[in-house]
Structure 1
Amino acid sequence: MRLRFLGSTSEAGACPTLYETDRGTIVVQGLRVTDAEALADLRDVLDGEAAVEVPRELLTDIARRVLPEAAEDRR
């Protein structure tokens, strides 16, 4: 699998960061959620899965930039 950098809200390329894969999926790099109450709210967590925290503004910024490209690809 290959990753293409989409964006980050941090300095020097640290997390949180979003990547697009060559398989059409998104990879999230971020700080692992360790708060016990937050983890208790998660549903159906499988072995090997982890929750990471990402700022809302990163998701909306990337969506504005990436979704128009995806819409054009479908035409």
Structure 2
Amino acid sequence: MALRLLGKDPESQDGDSPTLYYDEERDTYLFQSWKVTDPGRLAQLSLPDHETVIEFPKRMMRFFPEVTGGE
């Protein structure tokens, strides 16, 4: 698997998360971020058992190539 690091949250207190990766083989993104565990928020979603939900700050959107013009 060829993962390419796209960016880490510059405001992260410990410098580890959230982090965005691009999987070049699958043409998908992977986010390392905060797992949503709040039952009230999860109840508002149609979430299959084989999926999970993560949360990331809007400021991380700048690391998506589609937002930066492919850079």
How many angstroms apart in 1 are the aligned matches of 2:33 and 2:4?
Answer: 16
CA positional deviation for 1:47? 2.6
Residue identity matched to 2:52:
A
**Alpha-carbon RMSD:** 1.8
The residue that corresponds to 1:37 in the other structure is 40
Q: Which runs of 5+ in 2 are unaligned?
A: none
Point out which structure has higher relative CO (alpha carbons under 8 A, 6+ apart): 2
The residue that corresponds to 2:8 in the other structure is 8
User: What is the TM-score with the length of structure 1 in the denominator?
Assistant: 0.74
CA positional deviation for 1:49? 1.2
2:29 aligned with 1:26, yes or no? Answer: yes
Q: Which runs of 5+ in 1 are unaligned?
A: 71-75
How many angstroms apart in 2 are the aligned matches of 1:11 and 1:4?
Answer: 22
User: What is the TM-score with the length of structure 2 in the denominator?
Assistant: 0.78
Q: Which moved more, 1:10-19 or 1:26-35?
A: 10-19
Residue identity matched to 1:55:
P
Identity %: 36
Q: Which has the higher helix share?
A: 1
